Chains A and B, each alone.
Chain A
Amino acid sequence: MCKTVARSFSMVQANGIPTLSSKEAVILRLLIAHGELFGLALVAASDGALKRGTVYVTLDRMEDKGFIVSHLEARPSGEFGIAKRVYRITGLGQRVLAAHEAASLVFAGGVS
């Protein structure tokens, strides 16, 4: 049981396949649909599936896994404020989402 719990929180499963939580899947779908987005826009586009208080921790984890990359928004020099961080999906993220959705379809077909 301990191994199962440990595996559920780790980034990679025992067979080497990266883990993908439901929130991470939502973020990847949104990034595919909209291209580049920043955190607040992700929350707004998710229809309540993502919360502002948790989205950046999730995005940080996804960046560690290599599903997304981020960069600071370009701002005119001298403008007041802090630059926002913009996120973009990677090739690995696209492949993992595709595999996740294919597996979901298989399991949905099997149950019905």
Chain B
Amino acid sequence: MTTAAAAPRTPYVYYYTPLTYVLWKSPLQLLAATGLMYFYGGFRGQITALSAIEIAVQLLLATLIAHLAPLLLVFVVLPRVRDRFRNTPETKVVRVLAAIGLAGVAVVSTAHVIFTLPLPLLIGLSLTWSPFINTWPLLALERWEQRKGTKPPSLVLPPTQRMQAVFAWVFTTKTMTRVYDPVFAENLEEWLTAETRGQRNRARWVKIRGGLILLHTLGKHLVAGVIKSVVDMYKVLAG
């Protein structure tokens, strides 16, 4: 059995544990991830034996497993069900029910992420106990001490870039330009103002508040969409 001290340390460990906890959010997913890592020998010492390609493959596998069911639902089951009712009065009803189901999944998933993410994060961040003790965050702290003052500050990414790309993938262009782009634009402007004035704490607060406003807008938009769908369904049923 290899010892932790003997194993070489590579920069992979910086990214590995946080990515594990962020990408595999639920306890079940975490358990699956743990099994995968044990299979690759991660738990028996340092996880530095893993190459970047292996890490990428594991992330891809876990993401595929976690998202296979919803993908099957959206791209395989729903089109078949819809085709069965095509050109019949029930078509609209099926679409509305599917929309309600997907909205429900979105709401439950959001609540699930909010309520389960902090626990794995706390475990991962714990200095007293962690399955990855001696790797992260202790090693990260050690490296941080080593490089402090020797490296220029890293580039700070604007808060909206990734999230806007995700939303643009999910929603239509009309919805994006009317509902979500203005939210991103105002958040980005507030953040830029705070950053250019050197108000780092205010910039951080703007990021957090921007996320909350986005969640609020998303919730309101989904609820309004479901109500509209129910009304449309009622109109179809009532003739």
Contacts and interface: CB of A to CB of B under 8 A. Distances in A.
A24 B183 CA distance: 19
Nearest to A83: B185
B228 interface: yes
A84 B231 contact: no
Contacts of A54: 216-217, 220
A24 to B, nearest CB: 13
A53 B182 contact: no
Interface stretch (B37-45, B53-61, B186-194): B186-194
B224 A6 contact: no
Given A6-B235, A9-B227, A57-B179, A84 B217 contact: no
Contact of B221 (A6, A38, A57): A57
A34 interface: no
A54 B177 CA distance: 15
| B interface majority secondary structure | helix
A59 B221 CA distance: 11
Nearest to B218: A53
A63 B188 CA distance: 24
Contacts of B219: 53
B234 interface: yes
Interface residues of B, number: 32
A92 to B, nearest CB: 18
Given A2-B234, A6-B234, A56 B178 contact: yes
A39 interface: yes
Contacts of A13: none
Interface in B187-239: 188-189, 192, 212-213, 215-217, 219-221, 224, 227-228, 230-231, 234-235, 238
Given A38-B182, A40-B186, 18 more contacts: A6-B235, A9-B230, A51-B216, A52-B186, A53-B212, A53-B219, A56-B180, A56-B182, A56-B217, A57-B179, A57-B217, A80-B192, A81-B185, A83-B185, A84-B182, A84-B185, A85-B182, A85-B185
11 contacts: A2-B238, A6-B231, A9-B230, A10-B231, A39-B182, A52-B213, A54-B217, A56-B180, A63-B178, A70-B178, A84-B189
Interface of A: 2-3, 6, 9-10, 38-40, 51-54, 56-57, 59-61, 63, 70, 80-85
